């Protein structure tokens, strides 16, 4: 990408040892080669590592040891060691921003720490190589100083690796597509290159990415806050803009509508925010005509327009990282753009979140609506393709219309839920599973349903890989068996969404 370095090894025959605690034995095997790069529960660095996860739910898992790679060759060697036996289980953390426990950590086993593989290096003015342990904030700080941009993530604390391998949405997506579509092709393995783009961690451990670079400069960032009584008008205006024909769509515009709830001291509040980033250079401090109707769809309680560097353009409105609510969930669904459905969906979410806030003190929730417009999702055909495609599985009801990002005007719905207290976990899971099941039934009735799920926003109980459709899943499985026939990354790697997980596989 280049996916400059991909660890996808063919391993020797599998051992059948039955040690009482085999994962401790696996740590011992690594220690024979990397004694100074392993942390154990008795070490201060061990707890510091766990505290670095985005959600407390993930940091509560306790691996037998943590392996910190100093260079990409360390990763290759460590995987080779662990791959010699099927009983050595491991997880991989680039930055650790996924919401569900076990996505990038493991109970027992070994967790790979890629945080030191965080260099950002420019290759002329045409491409940028970024380590898998980097965060977007550091990447953009480097690029702003050079007057360059890449189509990368939109949040400071998010990691490069997870976002890119899961697809990725950027401020530049209308011009360049998914973030993974901006990676530089590896011409000698085009099938693996395509499978990695949306295939997450199913094919190996990517230690570095190479992105196409382009001219940088300051961006226009705007937001407007509205009273909740204007919700219907704002939803209608949002759907109208998200449904703009491709030949009339402004490719420099990135926008979202955010409904945000918070409860502190027994008082619950909600606001609605329209936020945008406009990437046309040079930046002009006025709302672009393409976005003005959305921003002026209702009376504004407050608004702002700022010209900012890419690094400083991360929107505070979107960063709902409440330190008093450390347990977090990301979920998502998608629907064909339809104002009537968006209005009733918001009503359902209002009921769910009111119940959630009443039940759990010190809790918060935001729901982001953002377009997955054909101007964005059609770009991959010119960059080697990806696997983020339509579902074609059989459907139980005739009203359930197939939809996918590239087949029409799709709107992504992404709640970020935050709360305190492990005793509330089961309630949160049940509440949101029931809410999304009802939302999907409503989408069927309105004729706007899709079973496609965006992987980067998916919760553990969702199934984004199967939502790519039978043809793409079969393609990814063939690629997996071609490059890694022993199945180490299907059977031994913990976390992520596996290619065979719904059919009894790892």
User: To the nearest whole percent, how much of the chain has pLDDT over 70?
Assistant: 89
Confidence of residue 506 (pLDDT cuts 50, 70, 90): very low
Contacts of 351 (CB under 8 A, 6+ apart): none
Q: What is the pLDDT of residues 211-259, one digit of tens each?
A: 999 999 999 999 999 999 999 999 999 999 999 999 999 999 999 999 9
Name the residue ranges covered by the structural domains of the chain. 5-117+467-503, 120-215, 222-461
Task: Identify the DSSP state of 229.
Answer: G
**Tokens coding 288:** 């672009």
Give the C-alpha separation, 211 to 109, whole Å.
Answer: 33
Q: What is the pLDDT of residues 166-213, one digit of tens each?
A: 999 999 999 999 999 999 976 689 999 999 999 999 999 999 999 999
CATH 3.30.465.10 fits 120-215, yes or no: yes
Residue 235 CA: distances (Å) to CA of 97, 297, 331, 373, 405: 29, 9, 20, 16, 20
Contacts of 361 (CB under 8 A, 6+ apart): 263, 266, 420
Q: Would you tell me which CATH number, out of the four given (1.10.287.70, 1.20.1250.20, 3.10.129.10, 3.30.43.10), belongs to the domain 5-117+467-503?
A: 3.30.43.10
**Closest C-alpha to 235, from 252, 259, 212, 217:** 259
On the question of pLDDT at 335 being above 90, the answer is: yes
Task: Evaluate whether 167 touches 179 at the Cβ level (below 8 Å).
Answer: yes
CATH 3.30.70.260 fits 222-461, yes or no: no
Arithmetic mean of pLDDT over the chain: 89
User: Would you state the pLDDT for residue 398?
Assistant: 39
User: Would you state the pLDDT for residue 325?
Assistant: 53
Residue 359 CA: distances (Å) to CA of 20, 54, 354, 421: 43, 23, 9, 12
On the question of pLDDT at 485 being above 90, the answer is: yes
Q: What angle do the packed helices 22-34 and 72-82 form, to 10 degrees?
A: 140
């Amino acid at each position: 990408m280049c996916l400059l370095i991909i660890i996808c090894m063919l391993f020797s025959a599998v051992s059948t040892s039955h040690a009482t605690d085999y994962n401790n034995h696996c740590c011992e095997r690594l220690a024979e080669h990397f004694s100074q790069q392993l942390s154990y529960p008795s070490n201060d660095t061990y707890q510091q590592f766990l505290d670095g996860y985005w959600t407390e739910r993930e940091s509560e898992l306790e691996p037998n040891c943590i392996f910190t790679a100093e260079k990409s060759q360390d990763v290759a060697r460590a995987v080779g060691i662990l791959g010699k036996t099927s009983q050595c289980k491991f997880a991989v953390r680039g930055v650790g921003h996924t919401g569900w426990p076990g996505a990038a950590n493991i109970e027992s086993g070994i967790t790979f720490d890629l945080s030191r593989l965080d260099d950002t290096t420019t290759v002329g003015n045409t491409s940028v190589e970024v380590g898998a342990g980097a965060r977007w904030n550091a990447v953009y700080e480097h690029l702003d100083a050079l007057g360059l941009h890449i189509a990368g993530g939109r949040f400071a604390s998010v990691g490069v690796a997870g976002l890119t391998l899961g697809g990725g949405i950027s401020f530049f997506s209308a011009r360049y597509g998914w973030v993974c579509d901006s990676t530089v092709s590896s011409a000698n393995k085009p099938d693996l290159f395509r499978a990695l783009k949306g295939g997450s961690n199913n094919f190996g451990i990517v230690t570095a990415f190479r992105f196409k670079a382009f001219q940088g400069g300051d961006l226009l960032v705007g937001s407007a806050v509205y009273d909740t009584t204007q919700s219907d008008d704002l939803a209608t205006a949002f759907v109208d803009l998200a449904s703009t024909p491709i030949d009339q769509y402004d490719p420099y515009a990135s926008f979202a509508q955010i409904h945000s709830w918070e409860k502190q001291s027994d008082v619950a509040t909600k606001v609605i925010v329209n936020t945008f980033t406009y990437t046309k250079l040079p930046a002009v401090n006025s709302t672009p005509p393409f976005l003005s109707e959305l921003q002026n769809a209702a009376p504004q309680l407050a608004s702002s327009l700022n010209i900012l560097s890419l690094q400083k353009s991360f929107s505070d409105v979107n960063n709902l990282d409440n330190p008093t609510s450390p347990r977090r969930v990301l979920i998502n669904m998608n629907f064909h753009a339809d104002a009537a459905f968006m209005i009733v969906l918001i009503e359902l979410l209002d009921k769910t979140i009111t119940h959630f806030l009443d039940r759990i003190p010190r809790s918060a929730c935001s729901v982001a609506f953002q377009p997955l417009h054909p101007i964005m999702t059609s770009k991959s055909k010119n960059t080697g393709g990806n696997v983020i495609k339509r579902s074609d599985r059989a459907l139980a009801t005739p009203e359930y219309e197939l939809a996918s990002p590239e087949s029409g005007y799709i709107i992504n719905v992404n709640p970020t839920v935050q709360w305190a207290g492990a005793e509330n976990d089961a309630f949160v899971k049940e509440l949101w599973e029931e809410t999304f099941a009802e939302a999907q039934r409503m989408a069927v009735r309105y004729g706007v349903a899709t079973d496609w799920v965006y992987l980067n926003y998916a919760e553990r109980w969702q199934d984004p890989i199967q939502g790519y459709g039978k043809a793409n899943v079969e393609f990814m499985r063939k690629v997996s068996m071609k490059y890694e026939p022993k199945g180490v990354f299907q059977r031994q790697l913990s976390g992520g969404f596996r290619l065979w997980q719904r059919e009894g596989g790892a």
